[in-house]
């Protein structure tokens, strides 16, 4: 770094001093705190993004959002060149940068890192960053802090992409780096055209819907996803869809609404009730990277029927598998019909879903919690489907498989009459365009679920009956130091403190179909307990028993 660069960093960082006593942590997917203390963090993430852009010679994204957290919080997520989460290799630097106590120490840290990583400061390709934010009022000032961080690197350019969902920004970063059109309009265009393509490919005999189950009502968490979904709905003009709880409506972001609330509490969000009994409903989280479905039972006060990420995954798996077997029927393309399909879940996946998928002869892999782990694993397959039970997930297609599908589908569009195999190739290609390849995206998820249900001729109830969830319970335990819990084997086993896993095993063995694990949260100062058993009462008692053990070992 030359002197001009050093003095620019010193000068701008003196405007974003770290508040006394504040310690922030990168966590699972970026920094998240009360918005009032975040400006120095976001400014520094701006610097980090610019350095990452120089290092990778690619466009990087910075998204200001705190997802499903309360209204007064905010946060920042970083999108890497492929649209995925920031490389884990850079996370420790992110932590150090965010907590550097003074401008001098910040400069020293950057200087050392730049040398260690050999980040080119030759000005050949200046850093380029796309900035986005959700609808939180604190977002505007924080976006400005990010912009100032970016522009404290000489020559770096920050483009404000406006109010977006998190997956839209990730999509744009990926598209920009692939050299394809990357505006919000292009995003909508790609989603609508691939959705229409899938609708047109629904077998004629299945095109008769019963009308009763056709309507979809979506809870937008009072956030950005609701507003964007309304735009998509208007553009499509074919879905019977109502969006409630959008940022344009009254109501507080994530307050008694949204996918996180619906999935964890198993209750209907605000604005939904017995009037919606039997209707197919869906819920997005605050930044629209999670999606769950549900239906409201006729009796008021009853729990909803939750159709969570595991069931969305199962629906996608059934559909993809059907298309692959259609491809397989044709002798000359057998090899590609045998494309490697992989499923990726976490330990939170309901045991009944994992059994169901294994019974379909699918390869099921477990990874630790957090999109970066699931995504990485799913990318190993020709088609990798990953989902967390909380509704975050997507379907990844390998470049080589997409190329192969393109060859098949070109043959079809150039006039040959479509065989079942060729239609299956076209469907898979359309899915690869509809479903976000960068990160889980509730908007593209809704469209894919809707068209698959129509393709199958299934109601939400038929879909929900693919398997019956085992009763489960999640609890959180406040402990002095959550980092003293260390896990292995995709968080299914505690290795430290010693003796805790043996105690959990002994407790779990008392229950029919019992399964239980504990892990430190990556986003909150707690240890989480998950328990599953053959009855709700048993799952509750098991979870409570293990929570007590955690307390004893760590309290
Ligand atoms: C973050 C993760 C999500 C994970 C959750 C777990 C991303 C984009 N988001 O929200 O995937 O399920 O953390 O939270 O990776 P926890 O560690 O507090 O249980
Ligand atoms: Mg989210």
Say what percent of the chain tops pLDDT 90. 87
Instruction: Report pLDDT digits (tens) over 192-206.
Output: 999 999 999 999 877
Asked whether 449 and 293 are in contact (CB, 8 A), the reply is yes
Please report whether residue 430 resides in a domain.
Answer: yes
Question: Residue 196 falls within a domain, yes or no?
Answer: no
* Model pLDDT for residues 152-190, shown as the tens digit of each residue: 999 999 999 999 999 999 999 999 999 999 999 999 999
Whether 291 and 351 map to the same domain: the answer is: no
The CATH number of the domain where 494 resides is what?
3.30.310.50
Give the DSSP H/E element, type plus range, for residue 508: helix 500-508
Do 387 and 515 share a domain, yes or no?
A: no
- Ligand 1 atom 2 nearest Cα: 370
Is 390 labelled a binding residue?
yes
| pLDDT, tens digit, 9 for 90 and up, residues 292-316 | 999 998 887 778 999 999 999 999 9
Number of domains in the chain: 4
Domain membership of residue 179 (yes or no) is no
Judged against a pLDDT cut of 90, whether residue 434 lies above it is answered with yes
456 and 476 both lie in a single domain = no
Mean pLDDT of the residues in the chain: 94
* Model pTM score: 0.95
Residue 508 counted as an annotated binding residue: no
Cβ atoms of 479 and 553 within 8 Å: the answer is no
Active site residues: 67
3-state secondary structure 111-131: HHHHHHHCCCCCCCCCCEEEE
Q: How far is the CA of 287 from the centre of ligand 1 (A)?
A: 13
In this structure, are 347 and 433 located in the same domain?
yes
Residues with Cβ within 8 Å of 173's Cβ and at least 6 positions away in sequence, in order, are 59, 60, 61, 79, 80, 81, 83, 130, 182, 438
Residue 151 and residue 252 share a domain: no
Domain membership of residue 291 (yes or no) is yes
Q: How confident is the model at residue 331 (pLDDT cuts 50, 70, 90)?
A: very low
Identify which of 260, 372, 392, 442 to mutate to test ligand 1's pocket (most ligand atoms within 8 A of the CB): 392
What is the SS3 assignment for 411? helix
Query: Average pLDDT of 88-113?
Result: 97
- What residues have their beta carbon closer than 5 A to ion ligand 2? 67, 285, 287, 289
User: For the chain, how big is the Rg over CA atoms in Å?
Assistant: 24
pLDDT value for 332? 47
Write down the pLDDT at residue 334.
43
Residue nearest to atom 5 of ligand 1 (CA): 370
- Binding-site residues, ligand 1, Cβ < 6 A: 28-29, 67, 369-371, 388, 390, 392, 521-524, 528
Looking up residue 284, the CATH number of its domain turns out to be 3.40.120.10
Question: CATH no. for residue 421?
Answer: 3.40.120
Q: Which residues does 89 contact at the CB level (< 8 Å), separation at least 6?
A: none
Looking at the structure, tell me whether residues 342 and 322 fall in a common domain: yes
Whether residues 222 and 345 fall in one domain: no
Q: How far apart are CA 379 and CA 219, in angstroms?
A: 30
Q: Where does a domain end: 401, 432, 464?
A: 464
Residue 170 lies in a domain: no
* Boundary of a domain, candidates 277, 304, 331: 304
Domain shared by 295 and 382, yes or no: no
395 and 501 both lie in a single domain: no
The SS3 assignment for 191 reads: helix
122 marked as binding residue: no
Q: Are 526 and 482 in contact (CB under 8 A)?
A: yes
Q: Determine whether the annotation assigns residue 289 to a binding site.
A: yes
Q: Do 102 and 249 fall within a single domain?
A: no
pLDDT in tens, 471-487: 999 999 999 899 999 99
189 domain residue, yes or no: no
Within a domain: 23 = yes
The tens digit of pLDDT for each residue in 46-56 reads 999 999 999 99
Q: Which atom of ligand 1 is nearest to the CA of 348?
A: 12
Last residue of a domain, one of 405, 431, 464: 464
My answer on whether 430 and 547 are in the same domain is no
Nearest CA-CA partner of 217 in 275, 287, 303: 275
Eight-state DSSP code of residue 151: T
Confidence check: pLDDT of 209 > 80:
no
The parent domain of residue 439 ranges over 310-464
Same domain, residue pair 30 and 157:
yes
pLDDT-wise least confident of 3-7, 260-264, 417-421: 417-421
Would you put residue 217 in left (φ > 0), alpha (ψ -120 to 50) or beta? Answer: beta
Q: Is residue 193 part of a domain?
A: no
């Amino acid at each position: 770094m030359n002197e001009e660069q050093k003095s620019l960093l010193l000068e701008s960082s003196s405007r974003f001093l770290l508040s006394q006593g504040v310690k922030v942590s990168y966590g699972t997917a970026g920094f998240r705190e009360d918005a009032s203390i975040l400006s120095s963090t976001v400014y520094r993430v701006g610097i980090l993004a610019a350095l990452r852009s120089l290092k990778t010679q690619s466009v990087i994204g910075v998204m200001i959002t705190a997802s499903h957290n309360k209204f007064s919080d905010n946060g920042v997520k970083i999108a890497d060149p492929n649209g995925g989460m920031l490389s884990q290799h850079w996370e420790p630097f992110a932590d150090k940068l965010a907590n550097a106590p003074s401008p001098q120490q910040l400069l020293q840290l950057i200087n050392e890192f730049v040398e260690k990583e050999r980040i080119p400061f030759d000005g050949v390709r200046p850093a380029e960053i796309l900035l986005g934010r959700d609808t939180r009022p604190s977002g505007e000032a924080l976006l400005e802090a990010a912009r100032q961080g970016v522009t404290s690197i000489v020559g770096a350019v920050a483009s404000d992409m406006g109010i977006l969902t998190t997956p839209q920004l990730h999509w744009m970063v990926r598209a920009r780096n692939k050299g394809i059109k990357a505006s919000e309009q292009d995003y909508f265009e790609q989603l609508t055209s691939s959705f229409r393509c899938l609708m047109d490919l629904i077998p004629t005999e299945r095109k008769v819907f019963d009308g009763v189950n056709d309507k979809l009502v979506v809870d937008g968490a009072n956030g950005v996803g609701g507003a964007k979904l309304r735009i998509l709905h208007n553009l499509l003009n074919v879905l019977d869809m109502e969006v409630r709880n959008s940022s344009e409506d009254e109501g507080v972001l994530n307050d008694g609404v949204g996918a996180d609330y619906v999935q964890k509490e198993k209750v209907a969000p605000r604005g939904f009730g017995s009037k919606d009994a039997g209707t197919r409903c869906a819920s997005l989280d605050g930044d629209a990277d999670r999606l769950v479905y549900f239906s409201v039972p006729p009796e008021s006060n009853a729990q909803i029927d939750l159709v969570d990420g595991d069931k969305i995954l199962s629906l996608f798996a059934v559909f993809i598998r059907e298309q692959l077997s259609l491809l397989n029927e044709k002798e000359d393309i057998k090899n590609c019909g045998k494309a490697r399909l992989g499923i990726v879940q976490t330990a939170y996946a309901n045991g009944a879903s994992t059994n169901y998928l294994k019974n379909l002869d699918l390869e099921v892999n477990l990874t630790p919690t957090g999109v970066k782990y699931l995504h990485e694993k799913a990318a190993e397959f020709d088609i990798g489907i990953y989902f967390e039970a909380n509704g975050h997930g997507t379907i990844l297609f390998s470049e080589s498989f997409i190329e192969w599908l393109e060859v098949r589908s070109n043959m079809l569009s150039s006039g040959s009459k479509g065989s079942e195999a060729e239609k299956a190739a076209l469907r898979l290609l359309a899915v690869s365009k509809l479903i976000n390849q960068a990160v889980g995206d509730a908007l593209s998820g809704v469209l894919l679920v809707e068209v698959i249900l129509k393709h199958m001729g299934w109601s939400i109830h038929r879909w929900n009956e693919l398997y019956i969830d085992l009763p489960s319970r999640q609890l959180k335990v406040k402990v002095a130091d959550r980092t003293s819990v260390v896990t292995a084997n995709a968080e299914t086993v505690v290795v430290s403190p010693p003796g805790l896993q043996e105690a959990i095993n002994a407790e779990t063995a008392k229950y029919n179909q019992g399964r239980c694990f504990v892990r430190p949260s990556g986003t909150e100062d707690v240890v989480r307990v998950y328990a599953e058993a053959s009855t709700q009462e048993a799952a509750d008692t098991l979870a409570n028993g293990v929570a007590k053990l955690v307390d004893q070992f760590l309290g």
